[in-house]
Amino acid sequence: AALREQEERGELLQPLLFVLLVLCSVLLYFKVSLMDPGFVKPEEEEEAEGQSLGSPQAPGAVKLRRCGYCLVKQPMRARHCQLCRHCVRRYDHHCPWIENCVGERNHPLFMAYLSVQLVVLLWGGHIAWSGLDFQQSWEWLQHSIFLLVSFLLIVIFTTVVLLLLVSHLYLISCNTTTWEFMSHHRISYLRHSELENPFDQGIILNLWRFFC
């Protein structure tokens, strides 16, 4: 009877929604970590001569090369990951949290995962904070230490996820990758380009091409 009364008052909707968000976050985590991030396969070598959607033609001085590790011809913006032992199309970075590369195929899902994770953490932080009733006593600390530590951990993880999400959104809006941003001076197709970022087509088009 009490459960039905809570349901009628809508008090069960929020916990149910929170559980669904957590489940969605877990499913996205496994999807992003287990899927092919865009590995370059030997049978796709001919495609390396062309460019992926939204990419400019390679500067004349730049020759597409074969990877020294897996010997496939690398498309522009691809890079070999020594941990995954594959070349990855539009390589962004190797994420130790998901134990997989973030590349052409799973980067949008990675952003979705970060977004859902941030909502879950903010909601969890709100729940933990609302359960804290600060009192200056040793007895209160003994009873609330688990909740207090949980809140502090949530704050740390929220900060990390928020910084990751904001930095990736900035790079996506510029149509550049983490690897290109960090190693601009070492990448031949950027070093020989007349433009600072030859892939930038404006914020709106960059976001549209990435997410849509």
Where in the sequence numbering do the catalytic residues fall? 95
Residue type, 156: I
The per-residue DSSP string of 53-122 comes to TTPPPPPTT----B-TTT-PBPPTT-EEETTTTEEETT--EEETTTTEEE-TTTHHHHHHHHHHHHHHHH
Q: Is 12 helix (H, G, I), strand (E, B) or coil?
A: coil
CA distances from 186 to 19, 22, 32, 182, 191 (A): 45, 40, 28, 9, 7
Our CA dihedral for 42, 38, 190, 108, rounded to 10 degrees, sits at 170
Given a contact cutoff of 8 angstroms between Cβ atoms, the answer to whether 142 and 125 are in contact is no
Minimal CA–CA distance to 33: which of 100, 132, 103? 100
